Structure 1
Amino acid sequence: MTLNLSVDEVLTTTRSVRKRLDFDRPVSREVLLECLDLALQAPTGSNAQGWQWVFVEDAAKKKAIADIYSANFELYRQMPEPEYAEGDSRGEQRQRVVSSASYLAGHMHESPWLLIPCLEGRVDGVPGAASAGYWGSLLPAAWSYMLALRSRGLGSAWTTLHLLGEGEKQTAEILGIPFDKYSQGGLFPIAYTKGTDFRPAKRLPAEQLAHFDSW
């Protein structure tokens, strides 16, 4: 069942959901594939469509992947925090975001499904232009997937911390992903949300971020 949301509402209220994921409500394979059919309409370089989508329901595998994520999250927590000017909405939201991320790190394995989108090839150490083109063939589809989830009352959070260090290779071994042939684009918990009343987030005004004809 889809929610009665306009395109603008879907675009402005699709959040990284963590504490409001309903870990107790089952999610069918049918809805996962329904959302994937929509996501596969996203653009991809040269129409290559070199993506593969790995959905994980097995409890032991979810726990093993979540352990990798949690260990890397602890390393991330030790990094210096960014500094924001007084009145910057990003600084005001910092502690709330950290609390939410900490919650997910401790509960990732409880999600009904985990999703790892993969793209054929590897771009380790290549120039920025090649890397941008490569990931541009996967990330639009991954975001479309999150939008499709939102429109159906489900949510997710775009995470990448499991990729740090040996994490990507370890995850590939757990799931049988050919590490030398495919790169992982993220780790997405998937669940229905507790309520569907999400609001637009506080963002910097467009006028502060836009440049016309020159920087």
Structure 2
Amino acid sequence: MTYTLDLNPDELLTTTRTVRKRLDLERPVPMEVIRECLEIALQAPSGSNRQTWHWLVITDAEQRAAIGDYYRRAVEQYLAGPGAAGKLHVDDPERGPVQRRVGDSVAYLGERMGQVPVLVIPCLEARTLPAGNQSGLWGSILPAAWSYMLAARARGLGTAWTTLHMTYEQEISDLLGLPEQVRQSVLIPTAYTVGTNFKPAPRQPLDDVLHVNGW
């Protein structure tokens, strides 16, 4: 296996960050490394152990560029809206600057998604989406997607959890020839990182969000 970083489990879990500006857009990513990450992802739990997942790995330059164009358009729409990261908590002296940096990095990746060496889209078989509780459905793919990102981090790769491409889900499905019953979940850009010195991010104090035996 191609382990490149010496991280204990706590370090791996707390330093696997959403990477946008530090993705190396020039360095190729070997397919065997992606396969290693996906083999680990397949060990994740799924509802009733059905394992109805599928993994799209896009390395073709033209397809990446086309997906990148859809993603760029979706990012532009998102950043123009009131809920964009750079517009949240603007008056908060602590969170405001952080959110502005997040907004800048979202815009940066929006312009470059199509240049990222590998795009990974975890999918599920689901001809129709449940009208009510969908937690079981998406709970059958999201842990596996996160496992993929952890495995990538352990190998010196950076990833980002992005969903804005879903604005153009049908167009991307048509582009990639997805069967009608296959649903996309997230779009995970994957590349080697510029440096590997990631660290835990600032978070709310645990006691501010912890509720024991009730609210």
TM-score when scaled to structure 2? 0.93
Counterparts of residues 181-192 of structure 1 (less than 5 Å)? 181-192=181-192
In structure 2, what is the Cα distance between the partners aligned to 1:176 and 1:192?
Answer: 28
Structure-2 residue corresponding to 1:145: 148
In structure 2, what is the Cα distance between the partners aligned to 1:89 and 1:203?
Answer: 11
- Deviation string 1:154-186 (CA, Å, 9 cap, x unpaired) is 01111111101xx101001111111x2011011
Structure-2 residue corresponding to 1:35: 37
In structure 1, what is the Cα distance between the partners aligned to 2:40 and 2:162?
Answer: 21
Judge conservation of contact 2:162–2:188 (CA < 8 Å) in 1. yes
| Residue 95 (str. 1) matches residue 100 (str. 2) | yes
Judge conservation of contact 1:117–1:187 (CA < 8 Å) in 2. yes
Judge conservation of contact 1:89–1:203 (CA < 8 Å) in 2. no
Structure 1 runs, 4 residues or longer, greater than 4 Å off: 85-89
Distance 1:16 1:123, change over 3 A: farther
Query: SS where residue 55 of structure 2 aligns?
Result: strand
Q: Which runs of 5 or more residues in structure 2 are unaligned?
A: none
In structure 2, what is the Cα distance between the partners aligned to 1:6 and 1:87?
Answer: 34
Structure-1 residue corresponding to 2:89: 84
Q: Identical aligned pairs, as a percentage? A: 49
Structure-1 residue corresponding to 2:111: 106
| Residue 15 (str. 1) matches residue 6 (str. 2) | no
In structure 2, what is the Cα distance between the partners aligned to 1:70 and 1:87?
Answer: 28
| Residue 45 (str. 1) matches residue 50 (str. 2) | no
Structure-1 residue corresponding to 2:200: 200
TM-superposed CA distance for 1:79, in Å, is 1.2
Coordinate RMSD, CA, aligned: 1.5
Which range moves more in the overlay, 180-189 or 88-97? 88-97
Q: Which runs of 5 or more residues in structure 1 are unaligned?
A: none
TM-superposed CA distance for 1:84, in Å, is 3.2
Which range moves more in the overlay, 117-126 or 147-156? 117-126
- Deviation string 1:44-85 (CA, Å, 9 cap, x unpaired) is 000000000000111111111111111111110111146439
Amino acid at match of 1:110: Q
Distance 1:206 1:123, change over 3 A: farther
TM-superposed CA distance for 1:211, in Å, is 0.4
TM-score when scaled to structure 1? 0.93
In structure 2, what is the Cα distance between the partners aligned to 1:207 and 1:56?
Answer: 42
Judge conservation of contact 1:123–1:134 (CA < 8 Å) in 2. no
